[in-house]
Chain A
Amino acid sequence: MAKAIGIAPTRMELLKLRQRATLAQKGHDLLHEKMDALVIEFFEIVRKIGVVRTKTMQQLSSAYRSLSTCFAVQGTIETYQAAKEAKKGIEVDISTRHVMGILVPVIEAKPIERHALTRGYGVYLTSPVLDEASREFEKALGDLIKLAELEEGAREIALELEKTKRRVNALEYVILPSLKSMVKFISMRLDEMERENFSRLKRIKAMLEGRE
C-alpha cells in the first residue's frame, strides 16, 4: 500500500504522518468546538427572530389596515399624492459585529417618528387618517429594520455553520481514518523490516562465527 501511495516506509515518513495526524486531530477538535459555539449563536438569534416576527407582523397588519382606511376616507388619488410628496430621507446606520470568523450586520434606525408638519405632504392635505397611516408605517418600519438585521445575521451564521460542519465531517470520516491507517501500515512494515534485518544479521553472525 505504501508503494501505491508513494510513501516510503521509513521512520522519517512515519514521524511526518504522526505529526499530520496530530494536526488533523487538533483541527477536528477545535472546529467541533467552533461548530458547537455557532449552534448556540444560531439558536439564540432564531429565538429572537420568533419574538420580533410576531410583533412585526402585527404592526404591519395594523399599518395596512390604516392605509386601507386612508384610501377609503381620504381617497385613492389623494393618498397616492401624499405618498409622493411625503418627505423622504429615512436612513439607517449599519455597522458590523464579529461572530467567530463571520461578519454580522448591526442595523440602527435613525429616529423615525416624524410629526405631521415635518412629514411634508402639504399641510392642507393633512388629515387624521393620513397621519395615522404614516405613523403606523413608521412603527412597522422600525420593526422591519430590526427583523432585517436578525434574519441576515441568521443566514450568515447558518452558512458558516454548514461550512464548519463539512470540515469537521471530512476530518472525522475521511482524513483522520486515512492517516491513522497509513500510520498503522507503515509502523507494521517498519517492524517487519526490522525483524527481517535482525534475523539476517543473526544469520550473518552465525556464518562468520562458524567460519572461525
Chain B
Amino acid sequence: MSFKIATIADAETAAGFALAGVQDVYIHERKEETLAKLDELLTSKDVGIVFITYRVAEELGFEFKRRIRTKKLLPVVLRIPDKTGWVPKVDELQEIIRRTVGAEIIVKGGS
C-alpha cells in the first residue's frame, strides 16, 4: 500500500525535506499546535512515516512520548537530528536494549 511522508521540524530542516519532495512539512512554533498536528498525522490513513527532529520532540516532552507508546503500527515515527545535530542524552534504542537484554550494549553510529 502507498503512503505519504510527513515532517515536523524547524523551518530550515522543513525546507530541506520539501526540496526532496516530502508532501507534508510542518514548521514547529507552539507546543499545543504541533501536538495537534502530530495527532492529525497519527490518525491519518495515508501517512506512512513521520520524521520529527529530536529538538522538537524534546520540547513536546512527555506528551510526545505518550503518543509514541500508544500509537498504532502506522505511521512510523522517526526522530532525526536537525542541522545542529542535537540529540538527547538518553538514546531511546539504548534504553530499550538495556531493559530488554539487561546489559549495556552500545549501538554504533549513535546519533
Contact = CB atoms under 8 A, between A and B. Distances in A.
Contacts, number: 155
B109 A105 contact: no
A112 B78 contact: no
A130 interface: yes
Interface residues of A, number: 64
Contacts of B19: 67, 82-83, 86, 119, 121, 130, 133-134, 137
Contacts of A90: 4-5, 20-23
B51 to A, nearest CB: 6
Interface residues of B, number: 43
A92 B83 contact: no
Interface string B56-85: 000000000000000001101110111101
B12 interface: yes
Contacts of A42: 100-101
Interface stretch (A19-27, A51-59, A168-176, A191-199): A51-59
B22 A141 contact: yes
Interface of A: 39, 42, 46, 49-57, 60-61, 63-64, 67-68, 71, 79-80, 82-84, 86-96, 103, 105, 107, 110, 112, 114, 119, 121, 130, 133-134, 137-138, 140-141, 144-145, 147-149, 151-152, 154-156, 158, 161-162, 165
